[in-house]
């Protein structure tokens, strides 16, 4: 498939919210497409009407909008290879089903679910294949007359692929190399169901990848076992010259590394496994999302990019454009990637540091508003600058900064007990007296005044500073004390000192 424009697809089934593993699959597709100047296509694989969940497609589209990964084609943006919802492509699939039946590469089967179940009970490891198909009820074991009569009588049927046994099937995988299987391990998979006039995943996937001119199929490892069947289907449909390149991405594993990451791991350890909050329409349950938890989309993408791929070296923070430049499938690992969710928090922390104080202040504004604070933007920007290195999420800034905005100070008992000494009230009165005439309340100026004073009196600096901090902050924490002094300003500093003297007897 050389010399062709790169075209990749992300092909979710709308059976619920998008899992974080799906986001990573989509991201790798996106990076690969953009690096090659190719197209990134969204295809909704909604052929399983039993598992269809209303709202799931909208959720998927909204997730990518938030993440900033835009599709070149898809149900929401259109394109020349549509429709992009498989349920709207019934007629197309039926043509290929007919073609396979005519060429006797597929056959019609009438076995009911009960009959199939009975077979499974009777024969352990029962597989519908060359060794068993003639003992089943299908167009190979029945006469063409009987077959036609059943169809005419309206009996529902499925169409199964006819796999020839003992043949070597090779899948070329860009991550795993050549994967070879013996066709005898494959069963005669169902390709089509008359009941809903829809194909199953396998047929729809192959037909659409072909008709949409997909050049690279980049998807999760869980689809690797289906790839040999897909290769056979390409051949049966006469498309062996156009089989796309495959790349099966490593699994995302539990943070502990034992087994596949699941929603339960997120619930157990307190991290989201979905990009956005999800309201389950059936159960009414609400699941947390990365967006609502306070993650930046670029931090989340950076975190996900490195789960299963690494450009080499120690660097970890990359912009989306840098990821596009650096990404390569041959640097993807074959083995699963532990979902180290704490690393995700670390990335969000890094991104807070990388963003300007003004940008973070803007995001902090609504949080302040919720706490009834209405402060000048300039002040908020300064406060953010002093405290952002202490948080992973913007929301956490409130806890780190409330004393900058609160008019009444609440004193933490423990801090008072430890830091407010018998002579503290007296010392704080002296601070009031020396600061009263000062006009320049900049951090460095007030610091030199207070420090000179302490030195001249030969006071214990720690004791004074501790008491001063309790008076201003209410407890033993916060950034550099004189930075706080500068930001809250003279009037407020003096007032808090007076209040502490009265209240902390």
Residue 398 binding ligand GLU, by CB under 6 A: no
Q: Are strands 190-193 and 158-161 parallel, antiparallel or unpaired?
A: antiparallel
- For the chain, the residue count is 505
* 386-391: long-range pairs with CB below 8 Å, 24+: 386/479, 386/480, 386/483, 386/484, 386/487, 387/479, 388/352, 388/353, 388/357, 388/360, 389/353, 391/349, 391/352
Among 7, 13, 105, 300, binds ligand GLU (CB under 6 A): 13
Residue 24 binding ligand GLU, by CB under 6 A: no
Cα–Cα distance for residue pair 271/254, rounded to 1 Å? 12
Query: Phi and psi of 264, rounded to 5°?
Result: -60, -35
Q: DSSP letters of 307-337?
A: SSB--SSS-----HHHHHHH--GGGB-SS-E
How many residues touch ligand GLU (CB under 6 A)? 8
| Residue pair 253/260 in contact by the 8 Å Cβ criterion | yes
Nearer to ligand GLU, 250 or 479 (CB): 250
Nearer to ligand GLU, 15 or 135 (CB): 15
Nearer to ligand GLU, 139 or 215 (CB): 215
| Residue pair 200/190 in contact by the 8 Å Cβ criterion | yes
Write each residue from 150 to 189 as x if it is in contact with ligand GLU (CB under 6 A), else as -, in one continuous string.
----------------------------------------
Nearer to ligand GLU, 34 or 230 (CB): 230
159: which strand partners? 108, 192
Query: Which residues does 88 contact at the CB level (< 8 Å), separation at least 6?
Result: none
Helix, strand, coil shares of the chain as percentages rounded to 5? Answer: 50, 10, 35
Min separation Cβ 137 and ligand GLU, Å: 30
Q: Residues 43 to 62: which contact ligand GLU by CB under 6 A? A: 45
Q: How many CB atoms lie within 10 A of CB 373?
A: 18
Cα–Cα distance for residue pair 417/412, rounded to 1 Å? 9
Min separation Cβ 49 and ligand GLU, Å: 14
What DSSP state is assigned to residue 355? Answer: S
Residue 86 binding ligand GLU, by CB under 6 A: no
Find the part of the chain contacting ligand GLU (CB under 6 A) among 11-19, 247-255, 383-391, 449-457.
Answer: 11-19
Min separation Cβ 199 and ligand GLU, Å: 12
Find the part of the chain contacting ligand GLU (CB under 6 A) among 5-13, 69-77, 122-130, 177-185.
Answer: 5-13
Nearer to ligand GLU, 86 or 446 (CB): 86
| Residue pair 272/266 in contact by the 8 Å Cβ criterion | yes
Min separation Cβ 171 and ligand GLU, Å: 13
Residue keyed to tokens 């699959």: 25
Among 6, 8, 12, 446, binds ligand GLU (CB under 6 A): 12
Q: Residues 203 to 242: which contact ligand GLU by CB under 6 A? A: 205, 219, 223
The residue annotated as part of the active site, out of 263, 343, 421, 499, is 263
The radius of gyration of the chain from alpha carbons, rounded to an integer in Å, stands at 32
263 catalytic? Reply is yes
| Residue pair 70/62 in contact by the 8 Å Cβ criterion | no
Nearer to ligand GLU, 51 or 371 (CB): 51
Nearer to ligand GLU, 11 or 232 (CB): 11
Find the part of the chain contacting ligand GLU (CB under 6 A) among 6-14, 97-105, 280-288, 415-423.
Answer: 6-14
Min separation Cβ 258 and ligand GLU, Å: 23
| Residue pair 337/253 in contact by the 8 Å Cβ criterion | yes
Nearer to ligand GLU, 157 or 278 (CB): 278
Q: How many CB atoms lie within 10 A of CB 250?
A: 19
Min separation Cβ 204 and ligand GLU, Å: 9
| Residue pair 234/160 in contact by the 8 Å Cβ criterion | no
Which run of H or of E encompasses 199? strand 198-199
Min separation Cβ 320 and ligand GLU, Å: 22
Find the part of the chain contacting ligand GLU (CB under 6 A) among 8-16, 91-99, 170-178, 474-482.
Answer: 8-16
Min separation Cβ 45 and ligand GLU, Å: 4
Q: Which residues bind ligand GLU (CB under 6 A)?
A: 11-13, 45, 201, 205, 219, 223
Catalytic residues: 263
């Amino acid at each position: 498939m050389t010399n062709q424009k790169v075209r990749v697809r992300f092909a979710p089934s709308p059976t619920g919210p998008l899992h974080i593993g799906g986001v990573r699959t989509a991201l790798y597709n996106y990076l690969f497409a953009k690096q090659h100047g190719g197209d990134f296509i969204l295809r909704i694989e909604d052929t399983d009407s039993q598992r269809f969940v209303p709202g799931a497609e909208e959720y998927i589209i909204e997730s990518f909008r938030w993440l900033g990964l835009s599709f070149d084609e898809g149900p929401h943006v259109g394109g020349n290879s549509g429709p992009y919802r498989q349920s709207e492509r019934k007629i197309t699939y039926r043509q290929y089903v007919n073609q396979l039946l005519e060429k006797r590469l597929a056959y019609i089967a009438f076995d009911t679910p009960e009959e199939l179940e009975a077979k499974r009970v009777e024969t352990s490891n029962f597989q519908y294949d060359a060794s068993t198909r003639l003992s089943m009820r299908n167009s190979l074991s029945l006469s063409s007359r009987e077959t036609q009569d059943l169809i005419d009588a309206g009996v529902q049927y499925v169409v199964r692929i006819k796999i020839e046994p003992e043949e070597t099937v090779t899948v070329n995988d860009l991550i795993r190399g050549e994967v070879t299987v013996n066709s005898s391990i494959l069963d005669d998979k169902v390709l089509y169901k008359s009941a809903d006039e829809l194909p199953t995943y396998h047929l729809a996937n192959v037909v659409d990848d072909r008709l949409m001119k997909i050049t690279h199929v980049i998807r999760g490892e869980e689809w690797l076992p289906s790839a040999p069947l897909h290769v056979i289907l390409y051949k049966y449909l006469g498309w062996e010259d156009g089989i796309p390149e495959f790349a099966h991405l490593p699994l995302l594993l539990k943070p502990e590394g034992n087994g596949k990451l699941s929603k339960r791991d997120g619930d157990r350890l307190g991290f989201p496994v979905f990009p956005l909050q999800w309201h389950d329409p059936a159960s009414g349950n609400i699941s947390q999302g990365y967006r609502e938890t306070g993650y930046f989309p670029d931090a989340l993408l950076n975190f996900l990019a490195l789960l299963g791929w690494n450009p080499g070296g120690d660097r970890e923070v990359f912009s989306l454009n840098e990821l596009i430049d650096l990404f390569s499938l041959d640097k993807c690992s074959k083995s699963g990637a532990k979902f180290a969710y704490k690393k995700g928090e670390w990335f969000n922390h890094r991104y807070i540091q990388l963003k300007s104080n003004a940008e973070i202040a803007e995001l902090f504004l609504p949080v302040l508003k919720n706490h009834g604070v209405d402060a000048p933007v300039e002040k908020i920007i300064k406060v953010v600058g002093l405290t952002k290195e202490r948080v992973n999420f913007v929301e956490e800034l409130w806890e780190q900064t409330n004393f900058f905005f609160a008019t009444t100070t609440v004193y933490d008992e423990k801090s008072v007990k430890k830091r407010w000494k018998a002579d503290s009230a007296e010392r704080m009165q002296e601070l009031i007296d020396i600061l009263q005439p000062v006009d320049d309340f900049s951090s460095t100026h007030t610091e030199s005044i207070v420090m000179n004073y302490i030195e001249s009196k030969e006071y214990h600096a720690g004791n004074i500073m501790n008491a001063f901090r309790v008076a201003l902050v209410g407890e033993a924490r916060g950034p550099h004390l004189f930075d706080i002094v500068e930001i809250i300003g003279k009037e407020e500093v003096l007032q808090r000192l007076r209040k502490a003297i009265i209240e902390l007897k």
